[in-house]
Amino acid sequence: MKPRIVRVNMTDQSIKEEPLPEKYKTFGGRALTSNIICDEVDPLCHPLGPNNKIVIAPGIVTGTDGPSSGRLSVGGKSPLTGGIKEANAGGLTAQKLAKLGIKALIIEGKPRDDKWWNIYITKDKIELQDGAWAHQMGVYQLIDEIWKKNPNKPGIIGCGPTGQRLLKASGIFGNNIENSDPGRYAGRGGLGAVLGSKKIIAIITDDTGGDKPEPINPDKFEKGRIALRDALLKHAVTGKDGGLQLYGTNVLTPIINEAGALPTRNWTKGRFEHAAKISGEATKETVDKCKEKFGDASEGKYAHACHPGCIMRCSNVVPDTETGKAIVSPLEYESAWALGANTEIASLKDVATLNRVCNDVGLDTIEAGNMLGVVMEAGVIPFGDGPKAIELLKETAKGTPLGNLLGSGALAVGDAYGVTRVAQVKGQSLPAYDPRVIKGIGVTYATGTMGGDHTQGYTIAAEILGIKGEVTDKFSLEKADLSRAFQATTAFIDSAGYCLFTAFAILDIDEGFQGMVDSVNAMLGQDVDAVEYGTAILKRELEFNRKAGFTKAHDRLPEFFKLEPVSPHNVTFDVPDEELDKVHGD
């Protein structure tokens, strides 16, 4: 099918289709979302007003046989940061949009009434459907009801009750392959609230009769695809029975804990004494025990794919040891840290249940965990109290003043309670690596275009896991070049539609990296340089942020990181401002 853009204008409920403009023909995923936002959204607009837009785009290779290539980019102006945002997720929707030839779905304008809508997309029609029946419904029930109404097993993305209440910590959910969980989240930046401001609850995509996107150079694509596949399969982290398949992304918990960089008790310590209880190893052990106890009736899994065609299979399903039934899928490293170590909750069941609550109400788990850490420091509930944290988190879906505050993110809660130790950059909470210990990720947090976010330049691969057998000194202060290179390469991967975790293999195996680049070039019918491509995206995002009012002064970590040494290494974040400014230069 010919590539096209679909525009849904919520002011007049019109839907228009237009050919993909020539200037966007080499774009997909993040490149497309960010360029459309830069071209069409006023950087000074209110993120929840009529002039913001939300752009949903599959990657360049998404929908093909490229390994682990089913990623979706969602972009807009962030309510949390006030700057540009792209959030990325797996699930079903990206590949289905790609097979329908939809390069970007743009939702713009704002309804003049209080009606709620769903967008229904098939090969033959795109229409707005009444969504009143789904308003404020829990997301688990929502995706179940949609599959009951639509027998072709569509992809579903949307916003939960917190997004519909325009709370800034809300994300965009996505259903998994089995439709058993809405946990494939483009969670960061508050984009769920942007979708909620458009009065859209769910976007339902049925690709029946769609066509697989075809490369312009099929031979080059096949060779590149195979080279990347082989690299992923033989690498110790991404391969068969590798760390990701056996333990999921939560394989990192003991690794980062041992490094002394696992933020604990609202960022006051670098090690959690009960880290093993919430680790990937603990999840695997729980799954294995439930299999022994309940047999085929157990719903626990590891080596679970987050989207069709994923060969790394780092997702999981955490079961309840008392029933064998699923609690949540997946429990990722970031979520286990945020809802576990950061709050000192040491029960795997409680952490998984908190994750489930986030999925059901529509919250970003990283923002929610940081918020709970701030609430605990304020004395509202004790550190380590899982049941009270679960009760408190459910408040965010009720529309109460307390619930609305909690759903507004960690910085808002810190301001309300007078807590100054809030780990955030540009308003967005930081992920699970302490920048005082791992300096390069701190540089990425500070200078990234999207606020505190590890996925925009994952220097952990170099600083903790090593590249080609060499580990970059995590304490070194000269990290501008490292962070810049990772930020540019990541922007390329996000645009391609490949999973970021392919980086573990392609950084170690040159043939894998070249295979990824060749597969993208084969789709485009021309050669692009990955770093140059990613750098161009970063420049456009920086341009948007500068017009929105950001300066170099915003590319800084909170003051407490410089003032408060973190145990066990007793170090601060001492990277000079001049080094931070070198990342993007003038």
List, as one string, the DSSP characters of 547-558: HTT--GGGSS--
> What whole-number distance in Å separates Cα of residue 119 and Cα of residue 129?
6
Reported as a single tens digit per residue, the pLDDT across 302-315 is 999 999 999 999 99
Q: What's the rounded mean pLDDT across residues 528-537? A: 98
Token reading at 257: 């804990």
> What whole-number distance in Å separates Cα of residue 228 and Cα of residue 231?
5
Under CATH, domain 4-205 is a member of which superfamily?
Aldehyde ferredoxin oxidoreductase, N-terminal domain (3.60.9.10)
- Please report which confidence band the pLDDT of residue 586 belongs to, taking 50, 70 and 90 as the band edges: low
The mean of the pLDDT values for the chain is: 97
Do 425 and 451 form a contact (C-beta atoms < 8 A)? yes
Token reading at 253: 């918990």
Do 365 and 358 form a contact (C-beta atoms < 8 A)? yes
113 C-beta neighbours (distance < 10 Å), count: 6
Task: Provide the pLDDT for residue 319.
Answer: 98
> What whole-number distance in Å separates Cα of residue 174 and Cα of residue 93?
7
Task: Provide the pLDDT for residue 506.
Answer: 97
Token reading at 303: 């080596």
What value, to the nearest 5°, has the Cα angle with vertex 32 and ends 410 and 102? 110
Give the DSSP letter string of 471-487.
---TT-S--HHHHHHHH
Reported as a single tens digit per residue, the pLDDT across 538-549 is 999 999 999 999
Beta strands in 446-578 (DSSP E): none
Question: Which run of H or E residues covers position 304?
Answer: strand 301-304
Reported as a single tens digit per residue, the pLDDT across 11-29 is 999 999 999 999 999 999 9
> What whole-number distance in Å separates Cα of residue 134 and Cα of residue 203?
12
Do 363 and 170 form a contact (C-beta atoms < 8 A)? yes
- Please report which confidence band the pLDDT of residue 339 belongs to, taking 50, 70 and 90 as the band edges: very high
**This prediction's pTM:** 0.98
Provide the CB-side half-sphere exposure for 295 (13 A, CA): 0
> What whole-number distance in Å separates Cα of residue 271 and Cα of residue 184?
28
Reported as a single tens digit per residue, the pLDDT across 123-151 is 999 999 999 999 999 999 999 999 999 99
2, pLDDT greater than 90? no
Structure-derived torsion over alpha carbons of residues 381, 383, 387, 389, reported in degrees to the nearest 10: 60
- Please report which confidence band the pLDDT of residue 1 belongs to, taking 50, 70 and 90 as the band edges: confident
> 68 — alpha (psi -120 to 50), left (phi > 0) or beta?
left
Domain layout of the chain by residue ranges: 4-205, 250-433
Tokens 């130790």 correspond to 421
> What whole-number distance in Å separates Cα of residue 309 and Cα of residue 304?
11
DSSP state of 328: E
Radius of gyration of the chain (CA): 22
Q: Which of 535, 497, 468, 529 is nearest to 98 (CA)?
A: 497
Pick one of 3.40.605.10, 3.90.170.10, 1.20.1270.30, 1.10.569.10 as the CATH number of 250-433. Answer: 1.10.569.10
> What whole-number distance in Å separates Cα of residue 217 and Cα of residue 522?
5
> What whole-number distance in Å separates Cα of residue 229 and Cα of residue 224?
8
Residue 11 one-letter amino acid? T
Reported as a single tens digit per residue, the pLDDT across 453-485 is 999 999 999 999 999 999 999 999 999 999 999
330: cis peptide before it, omega within 30°? yes
Do 87 and 71 form a contact (C-beta atoms < 8 A)? no
List CB contacts of 581: < 8 A, sequence separation 6 or more.
552, 555
Token reading at 66: 């490229």
Task: Provide the pLDDT for residue 201.
Answer: 98
Q: What's the rounded mean pLDDT across residues 33-57? A: 98
CA 462 to chain centroid, in Å, comes to: 21
Do 317 and 330 form a contact (C-beta atoms < 8 A)? yes
List the strands of the sheet with 126-130, edge to edge: 126-130, 117-121, 200-205, 155-158, 173-174
107 C-beta neighbours (distance < 10 Å), count: 24
Reported as a single tens digit per residue, the pLDDT across 153-204 is 999 999 999 999 999 999 999 999 999 999 999 999 999 999 999 999 999 9
